[in-house]
Structure 1
Amino acid sequence: MNAAPITTSLREIDDLPSPRGLPLLGNLHQLPPATHHLTLERWAAELGTPYVFRFGTTPVTVWNDIELSHAVMRERPHRYRRYAPIENILKEFGCNGLFSIEGAAWEPQRRLVMQALSIPHIKAFYPTLAAITERLRRRWEAAAREGRVVDMTDDLKRFTVDVTSALAFGEDPNTLENERVLIQEQLAMLLPMLMARVNAPFAYWHYVKFPRDRKFDEALIDVHRHIRELMARARARMREEAAAEACATPLGDTAHAPRNLLEAMLALRDAPDSGITDDEVAANVLTMLVAGEETTATSIAWALLFLGSDDALQARVAASARGVLGDSAVCPSYGAMRELDLCEAVCTEASRLHPVAPYLSFEPLEEVRLQGVRLPAGTKMFMLNRPAMMDPNNYADPRQYDPDRWLHDHRHESASERGAHEPRAYLQFGAGPRVCPGRHLAAVEMRLVVSMLTANFTARLATNPADIREICTFTAVPSAMPMRLALR
């Protein structure tokens, strides 16, 4: 773990370079929430890493070392944990699920989620995925015929909410066709509020509620009511199906097999001495909804920035997609979907330049010594992602948008032919034991949406690309992604 030898003089946190701050406030006044990630990256370029800044009086160390990031993530959850304020606030939201939960509760929940998001499960789910993609196509076809500008980020979030709900909970809210399904609007409030409260100098909402806090609290009540109704309907279905199976097998030797993540969690919850509560099940439902909506939709949206401003690239992706789709409007099978490498590559390359997770945040559970610096237990650590992905030692021409660098044939060229390509520097799904369990589902969604869009439409940005900015709402999202679509 890059521990300093005993004979080496250790630096303390206060010995690290730091941007000039103010008494009591530290550097808070220099870190506007929407763009603070860009400031952290600028300080890294100016000061080098590791450096330290302060949230009020709390020091936060900032690192930019890809090997160190991998080493820290390998030693989760026994030596490092996620940044504690995230878990504390998500507990208040009733959303302390697999993403943020720590300790012994993590592993059994991980197994359940990994099973639900496994390749065989997603393969079996593919017809539903294709049907929801067709629904998105019809929505975009209507917009194209009417000449309307499409808010692509909003539509993509509706798509991912429908996919996640159908896959994980066995119910499809159909937000793509039901314009005023509130769950999508309510979920969209959670990550910005999480970011705001994580960055707040103190827990002001425990003492006073501003209009934004009251609106969020009301939305959260509705979301949790929706989740409890989901759970009740799932339990009713499970009881009915178990009763039907019992009638069909009088000896009672056939148990109802859970068909989705929610049923599996409820079966585990309702088992004798499970130690799992309905609140914990609900927290994981909410975690899945939020994670399934935000990250994949944002990755696809960033790809549209490049597709919508490069006619030649879009034509190439369209030809590749049509070659796989044939006469179909949507990729017809899971096997065919696996041939859409270019459609995933345009998303991967976009999120290399515009990382959805601009940094990862951790704390050591015990004192550690990293790169000659002594970090007491509980020290806040931010691990920047973008600098390594913009390093020419990791990627050739790193500022150039080049989806080909992720294609199978290109990766297997010699180093002298393709230049630097270090996939370990791409950490959008994390690494180690807690690598994102939804990465395969995300890849499938990217391939389906990009192939459907480019094969059926021409898409043009309805704004100047230079006006699209990164906004950090816990994830780094585009400030807007308006597009005009025309039928091919």
Structure 2
Amino acid sequence: MFSSLLLILCLTFPVFLLFFFKYHTSFKSPPFPPGPRGLPIVGNLHQLETSSLYTQLWQFSKKHGPLFSLQLGLRRVIVVSSPKLAKVVMKDHDLECCDRPKLLGQQKLSYDGSDMVFSSYSSYWREIRKICVIHIFSSKSVSCFSSVRNFEVKQMIKTISRHASTSEVTNLNQLLTSLTSTIMCRIAFGRRYEEEGTERSKFHQLFSECQAMVAIPFFSDYIPFMGWIDKLRGLHARLQRSFKEMDNFYQQVIDEHMADSHEKTPQEEDIVDVLLRLKKHNSFPIDFTNDNIKAAIMNILIGGTDTTAVTVVWAMTLLLKHPRIMKKVQEEVRSLSGEKAFLDEDDVQKFPYLKAVIKETLRLYPPAPLLVPRETREKVTIDDYEIPAKTIIYVNAWAIHRDPEAWEDAEEFMPERFLNSTVDLRGQDFCFIPFGSGRRMCPALNMAFATLDVILGNLLYSFDWELPEGMKSEDIDTETLPGVTQHKKNPLCVRAKCQM
């Protein structure tokens, strides 16, 4: 993660040593949770692997307990790895633990925390969240975009049908990423981008780079006086370039909407239309500018595109590895659907086993295995440890979802566990928190499930699936890529057969 750090430290060690003793003497504090030993100044930075950080933290928890600490440079971190402690952090002490750490990439791309995800807890954050919950993510607002979701999923079904007619292999990773990107663009901007030649590649490059810059660690985030290394690595210039390109894109979208004099009905409005209308009529109790709209767009794109696509990919991966479960869920969606050519969003609500498959997928492969980091607003006591203000908190949802004390056969794919179960994912059952909990819970749950249900339901309803020739179910890998979202490393390539 920081491979060049040790060499730099050897060259400037005397200066660091002096600073360390000065810094260390200011922290004669009460006991802090145990954790792996680190180096002076660097702490545990050199020990972390970004490729699978959540699994590495899970291994640390086995040795140091469900609440352990890390020293990332000069910043203290605690890691929560059990349902009991997740409840303490996100419910019992939610108010004290609901801030966000100010990390350079996130702050820059969110217009200095003008968004909902990375904003500090404040009156501004409460208002911007209220606006999004009422005007964007409410059940009524989500239902307005059902025709968009249905149309785009039908287009995907047509594409797969063409593949099936020629026995062509379908790359589900690529197809689903394109689908969810298109759906979110139409919901947010009112237009598609993937059919416009070079503009398609430009948009996806911008989006991918924005995601990367949100996740990249900067030295200055953890060791402020070593921020010059970020400049040497070219990260400052890269971040500025990414911000400028995304800002130009957002501004173009806003200008296009403002130039459109057509009076739209609520059913015709996209998200940018809604925000511009509210701004025009002074509907905000806060000073709301175009930068706030841009920050909201960034949240929607990053939070709503990849997360949905990877969840469907993991669901199909798990079903192909477990043919019995694949057969059972397909029998359900087909037996209750009659002779319909397409399952709409009302149809998929009839399928409890399909819902259980999605929940079990989110348990084993939450799209964000480490929830967005929190930060303590003030001193708080957790599990008899005194946690100072400004301590970063990682909640390891991946570890919590596989806790053997909370789940029977925790490593197994068993959708049946959610049939007739009271365990839900709306933030009240702390053994199952793919969307988080408390004040910082993701408010887009309704939108996520509206999209997930109709995509997976129709993939299972319209096609029978088999692996490429010579490949067996046990050959399907479950390796993941580094990043904030848990992507499958190797594309899921399969053959579809039309069942109707």
For residue 109 of structure 2, the aligned residue among 80, 88, 93 is: 93
* CA deviation string 1:382-412 (max 9, x = no partner): 22223332234322222221112223xx327
- Which secondary structure does the structure 1 equivalent of 2:160 belong to? helix
CA contact (8 A) 2:98 2:439 kept: no
Letter in 2 for 1:208: L
* CA deviation string 1:407-443 (max 9, x = no partner): 3xx327xx9xxxxxx9431111111233211111211
1:42 & 1:265 partners in 2: Cα distance?
44
- For residues 97-176 of structure 1, the aligned pairs below 5 Å read 97-102=115-120, 103-114=122-133, 115-174=135-194
User: What residue in structure 2 maps to residue 339 of structure 1?
Assistant: 350
TM-score, length-scaled by structure 1: 0.83
- Which secondary structure does the structure 2 equivalent of 1:476 belong to? coil
Q: Does 1:476 align with 2:493?
A: no
CA contact (8 A) 1:366 1:376 kept: yes
How far has the Cα of 1:318 moved from its partner? Answer: 1.9
User: What residue in structure 2 maps to residue 228 of structure 1?
Assistant: 251
Q: Does 1:278 align with 2:297?
A: no
Q: Does 1:207 align with 2:231?
A: yes
User: What residue in structure 2 maps to residue 367 of structure 1?
Assistant: 379
Letter in 2 for 1:327: E
Letter in 2 for 1:339: K
1:15 & 1:91 partners in 2: Cα distance?
28
Residues 182 and 322 (structure 1 numbering): CA distance in 2 closer, same or farther, change over 3 Å? farther
1:269 & 1:78 partners in 2: Cα distance?
29
Q: Does 1:450 align with 2:456?
A: yes
User: What residue in structure 2 maps to residue 7 of structure 1?
Assistant: none
1:375 & 1:319 partners in 2: Cα distance?
52
Q: Does 1:241 align with 2:263?
A: yes
- For residues 371-450 of structure 1, the aligned pairs below 5 Å read 371-407=383-419, 410-411=420-421, 423-450=429-456
User: What residue in structure 2 maps to residue 253 of structure 1?
Assistant: none
Bigger mean CA deviation after superposition, 395-404 or 150-159: 150-159
Bigger mean CA deviation after superposition, 439-448 or 150-159: 150-159
CA contact (8 A) 1:99 1:287 kept: yes
* CA deviation string 1:351-379 (max 9, x = no partner): 21122222332211111111111111101
Letter in 1 for 2:362: S
CA contact (8 A) 1:85 1:198 kept: no
- Which secondary structure does the structure 2 equivalent of 1:358 belong to? coil
| Superposition RMSD in Å | 3.2
Bigger mean CA deviation after superposition, 300-309 or 453-462: 453-462
1:321 & 1:382 partners in 2: Cα distance?
38
For residue 186 of structure 1, the aligned residue among 194, 198, 206 is: 206
Letter in 2 for 1:99: V
How far has the Cα of 1:291 moved from its partner? Answer: 0.7
CA contact (8 A) 2:94 2:438 kept: no
1:89 & 1:154 partners in 2: Cα distance?
27
2:443 & 2:248 partners in 1: Cα distance?
26
Q: Does 1:301 align with 2:321?
A: no
For residue 486 of structure 1, the aligned residue among 474, 484, 496 is: 496
How far has the Cα of 1:48 moved from its partner? Answer: 0.9
How far has the Cα of 1:300 moved from its partner? Answer: 1.4
How far has the Cα of 1:213 moved from its partner? Answer: 7.1
1:99 & 1:75 partners in 2: Cα distance?
21
1:265 & 1:217 partners in 2: Cα distance?
26
Q: Does 1:63 align with 2:83?
A: no
1:449 & 1:176 partners in 2: Cα distance?
24
2:475 & 2:231 partners in 1: Cα distance?
42
Letter in 1 for 2:367: V
How far has the Cα of 1:51 moved from its partner? Answer: 1.5
CA contact (8 A) 2:348 2:453 kept: yes
* CA deviation string 1:75-106 (max 9, x = no partner): 787533344134x4222124642111121211
